[in-house]
């Protein structure tokens, strides 16, 4: 059935929220409205139990060609894979328009198509099999993409997969997915904000690149809960937010709880900013900058429950240059999860190695150490100033092993430690009480600290 002006209905302009359908009227009567087509006028019917793939695809193609949204009313629509052409806008009634997957490579896919919108839809994967690297929603090589206020659930693989996408993924709820909630690779200018993710088998949000380079994705104000690591490993899985090879990514204002490994894990992610996040009940390192990165800002975060609060590591792999400032870290645990090296540190508030400033942090209840500086010779140019450490085994530990570089430890307050307030370490062995002998090691400046 062809589209004509008599079949158009007016809907309020898309502004990031699901548009409300209003009464049908001539286009000339609503010059400021975005016009949409009621799917019923194109033969699409909800609730009859029949698969609607062909009818839905035809309706999508017609409306995309006319550059108008396709409006799906309340009810259930059973469908296989739907392919979105450029300009496709599929709009539902939030919480009431339900697409139920009957099988295929994806429920919704697009490749090389710009100006796509999905809004107000419930996309139920029904745990139908998907390809090994598949997703319920799979979008590739597109500009100005919007996925807004949708509920995506019961995917047997990933919830949303994005490749070379520029756009916004906002206000969605993604629950009960077997792999990751959102996986972005080689983004072109992406914002992931205000989403809720619950119960994912292996990861929450992944921001990756095929090769190291600028990415600039914004991951802000999401709520992420119950992230497992069903594939095992030593940190490849079980992360609420994982940034890999992607530079200049901002991770801000997220609320993260119950992740098997990390709340935010940056791997070879230069200039990452991890700011103002709250993480509770984290299995391994809450906020991590590791391997070959240059530049990390980890500031104003809260950690309550993790094996380590903040780790800035792998100077041996080129990992360097960090600011760790204003974090509140408490209630650390003495063991890392299964799969990690049993000799790796745990029960540590903040661990850093090279070219780093650690200032204004407050750490309480650290079974091993409040702040741990360097490992063996892997320490260079670290400043630890103005921190508060309370209730720890060691307050501050610093490498004095052969080849270790320079560190400044000054103006810190350390209280209630059982094995020493500020202690030099030769690998895992205590090698000097630096409160009693502050000038013993030439590579260190230890002054002005208060011990209680």
Indicate if the pLDDT at residue 16 is higher than 50.
no
Does residue 34 come out as left (phi exceeding 0), alpha (psi in the -120 to 50 range) or beta?
beta
Please state whether beta strands 151-155 and 117-119 pair in parallel, antiparallel, or not at all (unpaired): unpaired
Fold of 1-169: Pectate Lyase C-like (2.160.20)
The domain segmentation of the chain, as residue ranges, is 1-169
Indicate if the pLDDT at residue 31 is higher than 80.
no
User: Mean per-residue pLDDT for 135-147?
Assistant: 98
Average pLDDT, the chain: 93
**How high is the pLDDT of residue 374?**
98
User: Mean per-residue pLDDT for 401-416?
Assistant: 98
Indicate if the pLDDT at residue 30 is higher than 70.
no
User: Mean per-residue pLDDT for 297-317?
Assistant: 98
Percent of the chain with pLDDT over 90: 89
**How high is the pLDDT of residue 14?**
33
**How high is the pLDDT of residue 12?**
35
Tell me the per-residue pLDDT of 345-390, one tens digit each, with 9 for 90 and over. Answer: 899 999 999 999 999 999 999 999 999 999 999 999 999 999 999 9
**How high is the pLDDT of residue 17?**
34
Q: How far apart are CA 230 and CA 56, in angstroms?
A: 36
CA distances to 43, 119, 142, 242 from 247, rounded to whole Å, are 47, 30, 21, 12
Comparing 149-158, 251-260, 334-343, 364-373, the range with the smallest average pLDDT is 334-343
CB under 8 Å to 304, separation ≥6 — which residues? 279, 280, 281, 330, 331
Q: How far apart are CA 417 and CA 391, in angstroms?
A: 6
Give the best-scoring range by mean pLDDT among 3-7, 21-25, 192-196, 334-338: 192-196
**How high is the pLDDT of residue 3?**
53
Q: Which two tokens stand for residue 182?
A: 């959102």
Tell me the per-residue pLDDT of 97-123, one tens digit each, with 9 for 90 and over. Answer: 999 999 999 999 999 999 999 999 999
Tell me the per-residue pLDDT of 188-237, one tens digit each, with 9 for 90 and over. Answer: 999 999 999 999 999 999 999 999 999 999 999 999 999 999 999 999 99
Percent of the chain with pLDDT over 70: 92
- The 3-state secondary structure of 372-437 reads EECECCECEEEEEECCEEEEEEEEEEEECCCCCCCEEEECCEEEEEEEEEEEEEECCEEEEECCCC
**Half-sphere exposure of 320 toward its Cβ, with a 13 Å CA cutoff?**
11
Please enumerate, as own/partner, the contacts of 369-372 that have beta carbons within 8 Å and a separation of 24 or more.
369/345, 369/393, 369/394, 369/395, 369/396, 369/397, 370/394, 370/395, 370/396, 370/414, 370/417, 371/395, 371/396, 371/397, 372/345, 372/348, 372/396, 372/397
Question: What pTM was computed for the model?
Answer: 0.93
Backbone angles phi, psi at 96, to 5 degrees: -120, -25
- Distance from the Cα of residue 280 to its chain's centroid: 15
Indicate if the pLDDT at residue 289 is higher than 90.
yes
Residue 83: which pLDDT band, with cuts at 50, 70 and 90? very high
**How high is the pLDDT of residue 21?**
35
**How high is the pLDDT of residue 25?**
32
Indicate if the pLDDT at residue 1 is higher than 50.
no
User: Mean per-residue pLDDT for 264-280?
Assistant: 98
Indicate if the pLDDT at residue 18 is higher than 80.
no
Tell me the per-residue pLDDT of 32-55, one tens digit each, with 9 for 90 and over. Answer: 234 799 999 999 999 988 999 999
Q: How far apart are CA 197 and CA 170, in angstroms?
A: 12
User: Mean per-residue pLDDT for 146-157?
Assistant: 98
């Amino acid at each position: 059935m062809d589209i004509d002006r008599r079949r158009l209905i007016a809907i309020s302009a898309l502004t990031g929220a699901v548009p409300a359908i209003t009464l049908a009227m001539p286009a000339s009567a609503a010059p400021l409205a975005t016009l949409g087509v009621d799917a019923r006028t194109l033969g699409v019917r909800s609730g009859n139990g029949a698969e609607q793939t062909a009818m839905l695809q035809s309706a999508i193609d017609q409306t995309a060609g006319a550059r108008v949204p396709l409006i799906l009313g309340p009810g259930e629509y059973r469908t296989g894979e739907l392919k979105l052409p450029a300009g496709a806008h599929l709009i539902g009634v939030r919480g009431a328009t339900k697409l139920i997957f009957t099988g295929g490579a994806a429920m919704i896919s697009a490749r090389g198509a710009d100006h796509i919108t999905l809004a107000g839809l419930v996309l139920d994967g029904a745990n139908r099999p998907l390809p090994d690297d598949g997703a319920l929603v799979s979008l590739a090589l597109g500009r100005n993409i919007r996925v807004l206020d949708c509920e995506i659930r019961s995917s047997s693989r990933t919830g949303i997969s994005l490749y070379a996408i520029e756009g916004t993924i906002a206000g969605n709820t993604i629950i009960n997915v077997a792999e990751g909630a959102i996986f972005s690779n080689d983004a072109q200018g992406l914002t992931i904000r205000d989403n809720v993710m619950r119960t994912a088998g292996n990861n929450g949000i992944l921001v990756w690149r095929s090769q190291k380079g600028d990415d600039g994705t914004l991951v802000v104000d999401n709520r992420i809960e119950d992230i497992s690591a069903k594939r095992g490993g030593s940190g490849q899985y079980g992360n609420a937010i994982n940034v890999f090879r992607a530079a200049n990514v901002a991770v801000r204002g997220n609320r993260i709880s119950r992740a098997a490994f990390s709340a935010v894990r940056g791997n070879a992610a230069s200039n990452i900013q991890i700011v103002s996040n709250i993480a509770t009940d984290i299995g391994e390192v809450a906020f991590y900058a590791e391997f070959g990165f240059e530049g990390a800002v980890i500031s104003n975060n809260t950690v309550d429950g993790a094996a380590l609060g903040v780790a800035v590591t792998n100077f041996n792999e080129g990992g360097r240059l960090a600011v760790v400032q204003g974090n509140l870290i408490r209630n650390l645990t003495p063991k890392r999860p299964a799969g990690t090296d049993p000799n790796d540190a745990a029960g540590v508030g903040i661990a850093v190695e090279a070219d780093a400033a650690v200032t204004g942090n407050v750490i309480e209840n650290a079974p091993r150490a409040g702040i741990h500086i360097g490992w063996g010779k892997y320490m260079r140019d670290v400043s630890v100033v103005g921190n508060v450490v309370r209730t720890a085994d060691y307050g501050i530990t610093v490498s004095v092993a052969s080849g270790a570089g320079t560190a400044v430890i000054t103006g810190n307050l350390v209280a209630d430690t059982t094995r020493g307030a500020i202690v030099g370490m030769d690998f895992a062995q205590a090698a000097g009480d630096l409160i009693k002998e502050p000038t013993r090691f030439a590579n260190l400046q230890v002054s002005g600290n208060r011990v209680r």
